[in-house]
Structure 1
Amino acid sequence: MEKIFWSDYTTNEIKNIISEEDPLVIITVGATEQHGTHLPLNTDTDLGFNIAQRIAKNSPVKTLILPPVWAGFSPHHMDFSGTITLKQKTLFNVVYDIIESIIQHGISKIIILNSHGGNMSLLKTVVDEVGINHNISPILVTYWHLISSQINAIRKSEMGGMGHACELETSLKMVFSPQDVQEDLMEDVMIPENEFFSVDMFAKNKIGIYQPFKNWSESGQIGAPTLASVETGEKILENIIEQFTELIKLEWVDEDVNEKNN
């Protein structure tokens, strides 16, 4: 079986792969933070890293996965035991330095696969700075954004049901790491939306706000995990992988074909 993890190769093997196959490299950026009473602290990192593996196995180009960045920007979860947060400048430097390292080795095809909402704004700044300084633009994908057009046909919950340790994350955990899901401890916490803002992952919010999660929920959980299922998780995953495959084709396969034809 072909190895997909960057760190499984020797230095000479990586050098040859870069020179001969021009691989795509995926950097997963997650978090170690509370996910309510029924999911573990590893949820964001676990989901992102598992999704990356499915992408690599289905990718139309040679794809390698770096070790995950397991801590993110999570001060809004620090009222709950176990959460670890980095400062924004620390996370910026970690991700930027990783990208700068692989660029120095000859990598130009880069996806940052984000699996934590608190990282989104900061990682966009990383992409901007890499583009300014290296004339290479990594593609930033927060995985659930790719299926915004498909999610209403998949979800069982109403708006507000996919927030944090919710129907979506619990369903994906049931697929990847069912041993981590404590179904007897699930509870639904639905936060009413208004015309400007909703906590749902797929809300088209008109405003951005900062709110400690303790203010939203005593348990730290938002949404409807009781509606989660393996079937829903598999549908979500299938759509995510389809969208990633199309993205890779559009960005790199079609580009390579056009270059050869010119």
Structure 2
Amino acid sequence: MYLAEETWTDADALDTTLALLPVGSTEQHGPHAPLGTDILTAEAVAAAGEEAYDDEVVVAPTIPVGIAEEHRQFTGTLWVSDDTFRQYVRETVQSLASHGWDRVVIVNGHGGNINALAEICQTITRHDDAFAVPFTWFTGNSEMGHGGPLETALLRHTNPDLVHEDRIEEAREGAAERWGDWTSRVNLAVDSAEFTENGVVGDPSAGDAKRGEALLADAGAALAKLLEAVSERDVSRPAHR
């Protein structure tokens, strides 16, 4: 059930404790992909997980602005501070929990959100009347990059009309091979503009729609499996010693 599309009475009748909260970012993704790439991919994965899951789950509206100051030199990028982001996510989860949807999986589409989400989910689970866990759809995939093959592939499958195919070669030619400016195992770069002239990391031409379809199916299945685990988990807190 998509919360934003329902009436309050229909939401009130829903019998579940599970919720998905998509979280993205509004930031540059090179000359070929939209500023809302991380929003669109998070929403697509949340939808795939909701469809693959065997029982009811609430899908909350997407949080569209995240921790993205590293892209600040590129026009259209929006960002908030780490503290603001953590507080916003926490209070959104608290409001979901107030209606009984107190087991929340946060579906993340942006790498810059990962550390803050890990921290705030721990805080929520330890101190609030809710259990929260983050799910980042591209975790563990070394090809992730930025506006590179994985994101381009997923967009080509889910939102092909938003991918500027005539700019793929431009994106590829100006892309960096990896994230950062590395010296002696240390990344010296603070912002993406320091190591990529067009904001791209990785080769977007390597991600076609068929690959995007497979990525989405895999992420949706993994998310459904996580929902099952969260639904069955004993979330009562250990007694203080």
Q: TM-score, normalised by structure 1?
A: 0.80
* Aligned partners of 1:191 and 1:216 also within 8 Å: no
- RMSD between aligned alpha carbons? 2.4
Residue 128 of structure 1 corresponds to 122
Residue 22 of structure 1 corresponds to 16
SS at match of 2:12: helix
Number of residue equivalences: 229
Q: Deviations along 1:116-140, whole A, 9 cap, x unmatched? A: 0000111112112111212532111
Residue 156 of structure 1 corresponds to none
Change (3 A) 1:252 1:209: farther
Indicate which of 160, 163, 173 corresponds to 1:178: 160
Residue 239 of structure 2 corresponds to none
* Distance (Å, rounded) in 2 between the aligned partners of 1:171 and 1:180: 12
**2:7 is the alignment partner of 1:10:** yes
SS at match of 2:94: helix
Change (3 A) 1:208 1:190: closer
Q: Give how far 1:166 is off.
A: 0.4
**2:211 is the alignment partner of 1:232:** yes
Q: Give how far 1:254 is off.
A: 8.0
**2:99 is the alignment partner of 1:105:** yes
**2:120 is the alignment partner of 1:169:** no
SS at match of 1:222: coil
Residue 177 of structure 2 corresponds to 191
User: Any gaps of 5 or more consecutive residues in structure 1?
Assistant: 152-158, 199-205, 256-262
Q: TM-score, normalised by structure 2?
A: 0.87
Q: Give how far 1:22 is off.
A: 1.8
Quote the sequence identity (%): 23
**2:50 is the alignment partner of 1:71:** no
Q: Give how far 1:44 is off.
A: 0.4
* Aligned partners of 2:97 and 2:129 also within 8 Å: no
Amino acid corresponding to residue 225 of structure 2 in structure 1: E
* Distance (Å, rounded) in 1 between the aligned partners of 2:109 and 2:156: 16
Change (3 A) 1:190 1:78: closer
Task: Decide which moves more: 42-51 or 206-215.
Answer: 206-215
Structure 1's consecutive aligned runs of 4 or more residues displaced over 3 angstroms after TM superposition are: 206-210
SS at match of 1:61: coil
Indicate which of 57, 60, 74 corresponds to 1:80: 74
User: Any gaps of 5 or more consecutive residues in structure 2?
Assistant: 235-241
Q: Give how far 1:251 is off.
A: 2.9
* Distance (Å, rounded) in 2 between the aligned partners of 1:122 and 1:78: 19
Amino acid corresponding to residue 134 of structure 1 in structure 2: D
Q: Give how far 1:210 is off.
A: 5.8
* Aligned partners of 2:46 and 2:59 also within 8 Å: yes
* Distance (Å, rounded) in 1 between the aligned partners of 2:162 and 2:111: 21
